Amino acid sequence: MSTPLLSARGLGKRFGAVVAAEDVSIEVPAGQRLSVIGSNGAGKTTFVNMVTGYLKPDAGRIELEGEDITALGHMQIARRGICRSFQIPQLALELTLRENLLVAVAAAAGHPSLWRAADAAGHGERAEALMRRLGLEADADRPTLELAGGVRKLVDIAMALARKPRLLLLDEPTSGVSAGEKFEAMHRVMEALAGEAATVVFVEHDMEIVAEFSERVIAFYSGRVIADGTPAEVLAHADVQKYVTGGAGQRA
């Protein structure tokens, strides 16, 4: 049996009396498209923060292809190939879209002086390739401050892809994107991920997006995994309908 790309075993995390994670065990094989759902406070972001090194579990173990990464910091984990985007995009708003990507590509290459390295051989080409993959060329030279929320989301994802991650975790990739644009935006993301050969785990509240773009869904409630399976199986699960989707609702 092959080693999973990511393995989380018995993860636990408390904040005082609040249980944010309790005995969470999840394995993610390479190449999978996995979504994580749950109501606010269910433990989704806590799980992402533990896997990416922004938060240390109180109990349990996290492995990347068999290597124990539980105690590593977020930069050490990123260098090993686990990267993330954020619910609120982490961008330099005074820079243009292109400049943000150039800095991200230079940082991914490990250059200590980002601006000096931004024009180095290959960095411009890599930034251009990411823009093409996510359909961002038309806004390349606009200040990021002027970009719509949905475009900023795509820029944040492109910056995460600059490291050529093996595993990419996306925190609510369609939040802030209009209802009429969410499917197009998500198609761009998934096509870009296919081109980068990255495994993806995305936290999502929109059940239409979950049903359309996931191979597998994991549902959290009160810090525990309450369902794990195909989108059809999980969205039909009685506890998921009770605690996450509210029955036939399309958002959670």
Q: Tell me whether residue 99 is in a domain.
A: no
User: Quick check: 62 pLDDT over 90?
Assistant: yes
Instruction: Check if the beta carbon of residue 52 is closer than 8 Å to that of residue 64.
Output: no
Domain that holds residue 220: 6-81+164-245
Inside any domain, residue 104: no
Q: Which band of pLDDT confidence, cut at 50, 70 and 90, is reported for residue 249?
A: very low
Give the tokens for residue 73.
């910091």
Please compute the mean of the pLDDT values over residues 63-87 and round it to a whole number. Answer: 91
* Prediction pTM value: 0.85
Alpha helices in the chain, H assignment, sequence order: 44-51, 74-79, 97-108, 114-117, 123-134, 149-161, 182-196, 207-213, 231-235, 238-240
**Number of domains the chain is built from:** 1
Is 126 a domain residue? no
> Could you identify the residue written with the tokens 């359309």?
212
All residues at 6 or more sequence positions from 80 whose CB lies less than 8 Å from its CB, including other chains: 64, 67, 69, 72
In a domain, 16, yes or no: yes
Q: What is the CATH number of the domain that holds 75?
A: 3.40.50.300
6-15/59-64 β-pairing: antiparallel
Looking at the DSSP bridge assignments, the partners of residue 170 are 202
pLDDT in tens, 126-154: 888 889 888 899 999 999 889 888 888 88
Residue 29 lies inside a defined structural domain of this protein: yes
Buried b (16+ CB within 10 A) or exposed e, 116-127: ebbeeeebeebb
Classify residue 87: in a domain, yes or no.
Answer: no
Q: Would you say 136 and 158 are in contact if contact means Cβ atoms under 8 Å apart?
A: yes
Q: Residue 67's pLDDT is what?
A: 95
Q: What is the pLDDT of residues 196-239, one digit of tens each?
A: 778 999 999 999 999 999 999 999 999 999 999 999 999 999 99
Cα–Cα distance between 102 and 81 in angstroms, integer? Answer: 19
9/251: higher pLDDT: 9
Domain contains 95: no
